[in-house]
């Protein structure tokens, strides 16, 4: 079977983070209020293009350099379009679609091997300026997130609901009263979630105050309902039981986005993680404040706060309006994104909002960064109601504006939330929800781990010394994973126990993969020369140390018994050891591109190989499809078993699903990310 080339059009990804439970924290607030979150991860399913939600003036099309004019005219006509004029000196052509749907013309052009890019000629407008009297005090930090420009695309959706899980809300505040739906008070166990602390009223106003109504402040989302859930008492305290109960109540009563501007350090019992899992499994986006311990010792400042650090939560740190790290904001590699939590380092210049007593004021803290981000998530849901929780979260996280060191870092996460970019990113979102527990992880070249669907984020590998990440392997329970780098160092996360690193490597030799034993109490580390280091209960079954290889060994898989393993070389050669059954290989045959990965079929009788162009070879295994013959945006770097088929990943984070399991997103087109070097899958749990 010939190999081909591929293209990708998939969903992006979500990083989450650690797990478990919490206490509470406080944010400095003007007017003497104190609290907040604590301070200072059978057929292919490439996603089809979706018609943009905003108006467009035809299409913009770019052909490959050197394409003859006659071929260009022919391709456009065949797709049902008509060339109007060159788009200045940009290299693009303006194409009208007449009576043919623009999406249909675009799809046909996109299939042409001559076309390098096609998309809507989107019409833009001046950024919306609401008439709220205090809007001038908000402009600087809202523009830092590109929120005014995003309002040109959508201002929300009144059929959707955001739950404010906090201290309740002043139910008759003039800037909130028209937005409220019934909530619940878990402090007093009744249906009156009135705010006797003040914090929840402030959070609600930042997220969703009535906007363009000639009074007060503008909310991040102008439309939509607010569901007040009271879990914080009059002192600003709550326990994990009430917080978890509040999450579940909000989900059961129709909330689409949850905001939790509360939390504290400490892992706890897992009750918060279970509540977050419940929300995610029911397609609800969860946003939480990272906490306000940044001015304390490094150990305290970087200690994960929960629920922000739970897997499946968007953890929000704080900056000032200029994008500088707010000194009070907690930080660490469990932070996903940042948003303004103050106008400047002076706490008196905080985020403007509604206050108890039908007044207005301002506050500083990650408690006030989180509702800005929750508002953006709400706008994304309004822009594409079919987009699932994983897609919303991953695209919000991956469409940020990078701050600090290039790429993800422990202070800013992926960067400042960009509302306009997030809305653009979600306009073509794939909408299948991953509610059965399945999911997958991607591993970045510098050790960053990105999670999708039911796969929890447990940490990224802190690589040093210029080595690159090589492979990620989940534990049998999927409650942990190992990351191995090219020098053979191993990092364990969750329930992945450390059993040792690789031994001394030879000149030019690199570690390329790690495979776990069925018990999870050991693993094999494989090198490019086919040498094997066995650790824990992994038996040594042979290696290729004495064999002259035609290409480096790039991947490995164990047999179900743990008494055998396979290795695959870049030339497609398969090497079987122990009880591994040889079913064929591509060794010695012509390849269009080097082989990257070896994947067992579900009954373990055979296997699949994938090449960097997305071509797939099946050996005693059913062929599920490939990307061979399709143009790829980036080369395929790995493939893993997924349900009854397999899942590919490209170096740009694009994912291709050839299985019966839900597609949970990808990183393709998400902006600056680490090049992806590996993918690992989590089995369905229900």
Residues 6+ apart with CB under 8 A from 77: none
Q: Does domain 440-682 have CATH number 1.10.1740.110?
A: no
Report the alpha-carbon angle 86-108-428, nearest 5. Answer: 90
**Alpha carbons 462 and 472: distance in angstroms, whole number:** 14
Q: What is the pLDDT of residues 307-321, one digit of tens each?
A: 999 988 999 999 999
Q: Distance between alpha carbon 5 and the CA centroid of its chain, in Å?
A: 26
- Beta strands 264-265 and 305-306, pairing class: antiparallel
Q: Which of 54-58, 221-225, 226-230, 441-445 shows the lowest per-residue confidence on average (mean pLDDT)? A: 54-58
Nearest 5°: phi and psi at 95?
-125, 125
- Beta strands 257-260 and 161-166, pairing class: parallel
Residue 92: pLDDT band (50, 70, 90) is confident
- In this predicted model, which residue has the larger pLDDT, 123 or 613? 613
Residue 21: pLDDT band (50, 70, 90) is very low
- Active-site residues, by number, are 166, 199, 367
- In this predicted model, which residue has the larger pLDDT, 488 or 152? 488
Average pLDDT over residues 162-177: 96
Quick one: pLDDT at residue 13?
27
* Orientation of helix 240-252 relative to helix 271-281, angle to 10°: 10
Quick one: pLDDT at residue 200?
96
Average pLDDT over residues 513-525: 95
**Alpha carbons 404 and 416: distance in angstroms, whole number:** 10
Q: What is the pLDDT of residues 391-434, one digit of tens each?
A: 788 889 888 898 988 778 889 998 999 999 888 877 654 333 34
Contact 550, 564 (CB under 8 A): no
Residue 86 has pLDDT above 50, yes or no: yes
Question: DSSP label at 180?
Answer: B
- In the chain, ranges of CATH 2.130.10.10 domains: 440-682
Q: Which of 281, 327, 241, 268 is nearest to 20 (CA)?
A: 268
**Three-state DSSP class for 39?**
coil
Residue 576 has pLDDT above 90, yes or no: yes
What does R_g of the chain's alpha carbons equal in angstroms?
26
Q: What is the pLDDT of residues 581-637, one digit of tens each?
A: 999 999 889 899 999 999 998 877 899 999 999 999 999 988 888 888 778 889 999
Contact 461, 439 (CB under 8 A): no
Exposure class string for 34-50: b at 16+ Cβ within 10 A, else e:
bbbbbbbbeebbbbebb
Residue 348: pLDDT band (50, 70, 90) is low
Q: What share of the chain is helix, strand, coil (3-state, %, to 5)?
A: 15, 30, 55
Residues 6+ apart with CB under 8 A from 346: none
Q: What is the pLDDT of residues 236-249, one digit of tens each?
A: 998 899 999 999 99
Residue 15 has pLDDT above 70, yes or no: no
Could you tell me which CATH number the domain at 56-122 has? Answer: 3.30.70.80
**Alpha carbons 228 and 162: distance in angstroms, whole number:** 9
Q: Distance between alpha carbon 445 and the CA centroid of its chain, in Å?
A: 17
- In the chain, ranges of CATH 3.30.70.80 domains: 56-122
Residues 6+ apart with CB under 8 A from 570: 551, 552, 554, 594, 595, 596
**Alpha carbons 370 and 443: distance in angstroms, whole number:** 27
Q: How many residues are recorded in the chain? A: 686
Residues 6+ apart with CB under 8 A from 459: 17, 18, 41, 333, 449, 491, 493, 494
**Alpha carbons 493 and 105: distance in angstroms, whole number:** 47
**Alpha carbons 434 and 67: distance in angstroms, whole number:** 42
Q: Which two tokens stand for residue 482?
A: 């190992």
Quick one: pLDDT at residue 87?
78
Q: Which of 575, 564, 597 is nearest to 530 (CA)?
A: 575
Residue 181 has pLDDT above 90, yes or no: yes
Beta bridge pairs of residue 409: 413
**Alpha carbons 127 and 111: distance in angstroms, whole number:** 35
Query: What spatial distance separates the first Cα and last Cα of the chain, rounded to whole Å?
Result: 36
Contact 512, 532 (CB under 8 A): no
**Alpha carbons 339 and 375: distance in angstroms, whole number:** 11
Q: Which two tokens stand for residue 54?
A: 């905003």
Residues 6+ apart with CB under 8 A from 274: 244
Residues 6+ apart with CB under 8 A from 466: none
Quick one: pLDDT at residue 102?
82
- In the chain, ranges of CATH 3.40.50.200 domains: 135-426
Q: Distance between alpha carbon 483 and the CA centroid of its chain, in Å?
A: 19
Residue 47: pLDDT band (50, 70, 90) is very low
Pick 135-426's CATH classification: 3.40.50.200, 3.40.50.300, 3.60.130.10, 3.60.20.30: 3.40.50.200
**Alpha carbons 439 and 665: distance in angstroms, whole number:** 9
């Amino acid at each position: 079977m010939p190999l081909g080339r591929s293209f990708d059009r998939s969903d992006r990804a979500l990083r989450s983070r650690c797990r478990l439970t919490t206490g509470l924290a406080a944010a400095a607030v003007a007017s003497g209020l104190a609290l907040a979150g604590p301070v200072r991860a059978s057929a292919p399913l490439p996603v089809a293009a979706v018609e943009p939600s905003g108006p467009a003036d035809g299409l913009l099309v770019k052909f490959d350099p050197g394409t003859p004019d006659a071929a260009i005219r022919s391709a456009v006509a065949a797709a049902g379009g008509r060339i109007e004029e060159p788009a200045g000196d940009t290299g693009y052509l303006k194409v009208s679609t007449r009576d043919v749907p623009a999406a249909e013309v675009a799809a046909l052009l996109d299939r042409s091997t001559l076309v390098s890019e096609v998309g809507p000629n989107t019409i833009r407008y001046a950024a919306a300026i609401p008439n709220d009297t205090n809007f001038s005090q908000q402009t600087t930090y809202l523009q830092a997130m590109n929120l005014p420009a995003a309002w040109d695309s959508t201002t929300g959706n009144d059929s959707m609901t955001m739950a404010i899980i906090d201290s309740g809300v002043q139910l008759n505040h003039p800037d909130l009263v028209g937005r409220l739906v019934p909530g619940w008070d878990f402090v007093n166990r009744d249906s009156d979630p009135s705010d006797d602390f003040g914090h929840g009223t402030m959070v609600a106003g930042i997220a969703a105050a009535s906007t363009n109504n000639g009074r007060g402040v503008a909310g991040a989302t102008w439309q939509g309902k607010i569901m007040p859930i009271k879990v914080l008492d009059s002192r600003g305290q709550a326990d994990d039981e009430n917080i978890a109960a509040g999450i579940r109540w909000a989900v059961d009563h129709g909330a689409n986005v949850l905001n939790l501007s509360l939390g504290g350090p400490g892992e706890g019992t897992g009750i918060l993680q279970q509540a977050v899992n419940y929300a995610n499994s029911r397609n609800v986006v969860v946003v939480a404040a990272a906490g306000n311990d940044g001015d304390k010792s490094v150990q305290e400042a970087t200690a994960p706060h929960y629920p922000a650090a739970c897997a499946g939560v968007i953890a929000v740190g704080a900056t000032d309006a200029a994008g500088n790290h707010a000194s009070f904001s907690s930080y660490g590699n469990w932070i996903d994104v940042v948003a303004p939590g103050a106008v400047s380092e002076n706490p008196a210049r905080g985020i403007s909002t509604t206050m108890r007593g039908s007044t207005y004021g301002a506050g500083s803290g990650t408690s006030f960064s989180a509702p800005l981000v929750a508002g953006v998530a709400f706008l994304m849901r309004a822009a594409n109601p079919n987009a699932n929780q994983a897609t919303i979260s991953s695209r919000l996280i991956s469409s940020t504006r990078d701050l600090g060191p290039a790429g993800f870092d422990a202070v800013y996460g992926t960067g400042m939330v960009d509302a306009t970019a997030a809305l653009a990113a979600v306009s073509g979102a794939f909408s299948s929800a991953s509610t059965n527990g399945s999911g997958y992880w991607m591993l970045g070249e510098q050790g960053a781990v990105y999670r999708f669907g039911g796969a929890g984020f447990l940490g990224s590998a802190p690589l040093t010394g210029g080595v690159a990440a090589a492979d990620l392997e989940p534990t049998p329970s999927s409650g942990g994973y190992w990351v191995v780098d090219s020098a053979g160092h191993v990092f364990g996360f969750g329930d992945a126990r450390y059993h040792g690193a690789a031994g001394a490597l030879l000149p030019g030799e690199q570690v390329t993969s790690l495979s776990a034993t069925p018990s999870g109490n050991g693993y094999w580390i494989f090198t490019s020369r086919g040498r094997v280091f066995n650790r824990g209960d992994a038996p040594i079954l042979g290696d290729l140390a004495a064999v002259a290889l035609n290409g480096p060994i790039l991947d490995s898989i164990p047999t179900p018994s743990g008494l055998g393993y396979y290795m695959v070389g870049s030339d497609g050669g398969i090497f079987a050891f122990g009880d591994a059954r040889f079913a064929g290989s591509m060794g010695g045959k012509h390849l269009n591109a080097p082989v990257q990965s070896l994947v067992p079929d579900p009954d373990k009788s055979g296997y699949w190989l994938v090449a960097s162009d997305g071509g797939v070879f099946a050996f005693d295994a059913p062929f599920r499809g490939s990307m061979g013959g399709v143009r790829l945006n980036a080369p395929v770097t790995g493939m893993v078993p997924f349900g009854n088929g397999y899942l590919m990943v490209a170096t740009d984070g694009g994912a291709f699903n050839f299985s019966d399991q839900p597609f949970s997103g990808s990183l393709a087109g998400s902006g600056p990310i680490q090049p992806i070097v590996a993918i690992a899958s989590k089995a369905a749990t229900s």
